[in-house]
Amino acid sequence: MIGSTLKTLGKQTIVYSTGDLLVKSLSFLLIPILTNIWEPDGPEMGTYGLLHLAEAVAYVIFNLGLATAVIKVLSDYRHTRARSSVVFTTVGILATISLGLFILSWMAAPHIAGPLLGKMTDPADAQLFLRLTFMATWFSTFRFVTMSILRVEGRPWLYTLLNIINFVTYVSVAIWLVVVEDLGVLGIVYANVTASVVMLAIVLGILQARWHRPFSTERAGVLLKFGLPLMPNGLALSMLALLDRWLLRILSPTEEVGIALTGQYDIAYRFGMIVSFLLIVPLRTAWLPMLFKIRDHEDAPALIGRLITYVVALGGGLALALSVLAPEIIAIATNGRWMAAAAPLPLIAFGYMAYGVSQVGDAGILARNRTSLYPVITITSVVVNVTLCALMIPSMGMMGAAWATLIAYTWHALLIGRVSWSISPFHLEWKRLVIVFGTGAVILVATRLLPDMGLWVSVIAKMGVLLLYPLLLWMFGFLSADERKALAGLRTRTDVDGEGMNCNRTRGSRRHHESSGDRRGRASGSEGHRGRPCRGISRLPVRCHRFYRNRSCHRFYRNRSGTDQGARYHQRTGCNGTDRLNQARLDREHSCLYGC
């Protein structure tokens, strides 16, 4: 189970991360533009960063935890009509309770704008910024719920397409309003509203095709019972990620210095989040629906431990690259005008690696419906963050905020992992984790010993040292025997069937498949697949395989080729030969008895 689950998870993570890479690449286009228009000691970038704090908090309040709850509830229902009712009920909650919360926030905006954005922003402008941000966020709640539904359905490509449409709209409008119309921060806010309106029109069409009346109070209760306990945790997570910007503003010696430092710190934070959008967010997106399906499997503890190892290895590699190349990245992206942002970037990147561990390590809490524990855990981490910020920012400035972030995220990962393990134990791979940390330390020290060089020479030299990271992991025995074998299989793509015939050599013909059975796929056809899994279907829809994969479960049962092995398979899966299972379920359960 571990191998097949990791393979499916890996494929979906790659799709999600590819989409996020395209999306974030577009959003990163704004950084060179904004850093060349706005001054490092000006208030614009700091105001832009603080509006992200308001947007994150508003999203948690407006969403009511439904983006996660709908994944859990949809996974519990198999019938199409029941799922459609869940979708309609979710939209109904967003259109009533969530709308009321948005109206309240609109009315409260004048009282929030001043304390949040400070005196460097005109009060009327600050109020307008905040209200438009709240509006865009409420529109976006429908998009995030739709994304969750697509995750349950296993539609990563449509998920990615919607993300791309959203960010292309946002970035193109933002560039036009900021560069051409010279609207400053207001242009960014208008772009956010425009993108959210466009996406609202699209996702309502997607939801309308999936919902079915009536509104179910019972299912609404189930959704809110699971989702509402997530709200305090979501608020605390938003505070953990973004509160340091606000603390940096208010704890600095003057208002002008505080808002300027907030802008520089926000630049560092955006690059540190590369670890999140390249690995953590795509992995979490693919992992969450899968978790509810495999939570009771006997191999689940080993799978969770292995995922934590992969997050540390891959996330650590990304954080290591950002740490080593931080000065060069900031110099290239900002034309050397915002070099102060390079100092806190490594700490933020490693902080997000620790955050990634918590996103896998909380499996026991989610799988056993113990979400009420989240607020206590996360609020504890926020208290650690705020305390450290209060102690270190006055003397260390941005570096104090960065150290507080790293320590708080590490504490959060350790605490949530320990609580989750006490509910549903998992197996940590300590030896491999030590190898990763040791290898990362060697690479970090080696890059620090490099002499000062020109910009592009330094980039090439550091990249050369970073390439030693996977090589050293291999040499130190990080990969298990199964993983080495899997990598070797990717290189050769060769599998031998039960009769010793190399299937891949004849993949382009019918000789192998027809030699092991007639074109109707009867008993003799199944005999040829009892050896190793046959991969011959990837390029040619041969009849033998078409028989197994196109409603193969029932055709196999109904014709005269029902062998004892086939009968045992149908008893195990509960198939009586008359039910019409959908194709997706057949694919997931490996409908071909012989691994096709």
- Give 127-191 as a DSSP string: HHHHHHHHHHHHHHHHHHHHHHHHHHHT-HHHHHHHHHHHHHHHHHHHHIIIIIS--THHHHHHH
Buried b (16+ CB within 10 A) or exposed e, 313-336: bbbbbbbbbbbbbbbbbbbebbee
Is 581 inside any structural domain? yes
Tell which wins on pLDDT, 572 or 455.
Answer: 455
**157 and 278 both lie in a single domain:** yes
pLDDT for position 541: 35
Structure tokens at 163: 């993300």
Distance, in Å, from the CA atom of 363 to the CA atom of 332, rounded to the nearest integer, reads 39
Nearest of 170, 179, 178 to residue 198 by alpha carbon? 170
Of the candidates 419, 49, 406, 423, the one whose C-alpha atom is nearest the C-alpha of residue 248 is 49
Q: Where are the beta strands (DSSP E) in 226-273?
A: none
- What pLDDT shows up at residue 207? 85
| Domain annotation covers residue 421 | yes
pLDDT at position 553 is 41
pLDDT value for 71: 81
**297 lies in which domain range?**
2-428
Q: Are residues 274 and 387 in the same domain?
A: yes
Domain boundary pick from 410, 428, 446:
428
Q: What string of DSSP letters covers 488-524?
A: HHHHH---B-TTS-BGGGGTTSSHHHHHTS-TT--HH
**Given this model, what pLDDT does residue 510 score?**
39
Chain-wide mean pLDDT for the chain? 78
Q: What digits encode the pLDDT tens for the residues 402-417? A: 999 999 999 999 999 9
Q: Which residue has the higher pLDDT, 285 or 97?
A: 97
Q: Which region among 91-95, 196-200, 512-516 has the lowest average model confidence (pLDDT)?
A: 512-516
**402 and 512 belong to one structural domain:** no
What is the average per-residue pLDDT within 546-550?
37
Average the pLDDT over each of 148-162, 292-306, 369-383, 460-474 and give the range with the smallest value.
292-306
Identify whether 130 is part of a domain.
Answer: yes
Task: Find the mean pLDDT for residues 250-254.
Answer: 89
Q: Are 123 and 258 in a shared domain?
A: yes
Q: How far is CA 325 from CA 12, 233, 457, 556, in A?
A: 29, 33, 12, 57
Same domain as 221, residue 81: yes
Between 534 and 305, the more confident residue is 305
pLDDT at 17: 56
Q: Judge contact between 365 and 233, C-beta under 8 A.
A: no
Residue 394 structure tokens: 């006055």
Q: Are residues 390 and 507 in the same domain?
A: no
Residue 497: pLDDT over 70: no
Q: Would the pLDDT of 476 be above 90?
A: no
Same domain as 329, residue 180:
yes
Is residue 532 within 8 A of residue 498, CB to CB? The reply is yes
Indicate the pTM of the whole model: 0.71
**Region of residue 377 (left: phi > 0; alpha: psi -120 to 50; beta: else):** alpha
Q: Which of 213-227, 276-290, 499-513 has the highest mean pLDDT?
A: 213-227
pLDDT at 188 over 90: yes
Answer yes or no: is pLDDT of 503 > 70. Answer: no
Average pLDDT over residues 7-19: 59
pLDDT, mean of residues 50-69: 89
Q: Is the pLDDT of residue 484 over 50?
A: yes
Among 170-184, 362-376, 414-428, the minimum mean pLDDT is found in: 362-376
Range name among 133-147, 278-292, 436-450 with the lowest pLDDT average:
278-292
Element of type H or E holding 440: helix 430-448
CA–CA separation, 14 vs 271, rounded Å? 20
Give the mean pLDDT of 448-463.
90
Q: Is the pLDDT of residue 501 over 60?
A: no
516 and 412 in a single domain? The answer is no
d(C-alpha 500, C-alpha 473), whole Å: 35
The whole-number pLDDT of residue 529 equals 41
Q: Is residue 252 part of a domain?
A: yes
Alpha carbon distances (Å) from 245 to 390, 461, 575: 12, 34, 57
Structure tokens at 101: 């919360």
3-state secondary structure of 209: coil
Q: Rounded to 5 degrees, what angle do the CA atoms 76, 78, 82 make? A: 90
The number of distinct structural domains making up the chain is: 2
> Which of 365, 398, 428 delimits the end of a domain?
428
- The confidence score (pLDDT) of residue 404 equals 94
Query: Looking at residue 442, what is its pLDDT?
Result: 93
pLDDT at res. 193: 95
* Residues composing the chain: 596
Most confidently predicted of 157-161, 331-335, 404-408: 404-408
Residue 315 covered by a domain: yes
- Higher local confidence (pLDDT), 408 or 507: 408
pLDDT of residue 562: 39
Task: Give me the mean pLDDT over the 379-385 stretch.
Answer: 92
pLDDT of residue 548: 37
More confident residue, 349 or 85: 349
Between 511 and 320, whose confidence is greater? 320
Query: Do both 233 and 378 map to the same domain?
Result: yes
Same domain for 384 and 262: yes
pLDDT value, residue 253: 87
Whether 265 contacts 330, CB under 8 Å: no
pLDDT, residue 579, reads: 38
Give the residue, 419 or 575, on which the prediction is more confident.
419
Average pLDDT over residues 209-230: 80
Mark whether 261 and 141 lie in a shared domain: yes
HEC sequence for 393-428: HHHHCHHHHHHHHHHHHHHHHHHHHHHHHHHCCCCC
Within 10 angstroms of residue 460's Cβ, the number of other Cβ atoms is 10
pLDDT at 538 over 60: no
Domain boundary among 389, 410, 428: 428
Q: Report the pLDDT averaged over residues 3-12.
A: 58
Residues 424 and 512 in one domain: no
Residue 303 has pLDDT above 60, yes or no: yes
Whether residue 255 has pLDDT greater than 70: yes
Q: How far apart are CA 103 and CA 58, in angstroms?
A: 12
- CA 63 from centre of chain: 18
555 domain residue, yes or no: yes
Instruction: Report yes or no on 576 lying in a domain.
Output: yes
Q: Confirm whether 439 is domain-assigned.
A: no
pLDDT at site 511: 38
In the chain, helix, strand, coil percent, each to 5? 80, 0, 20
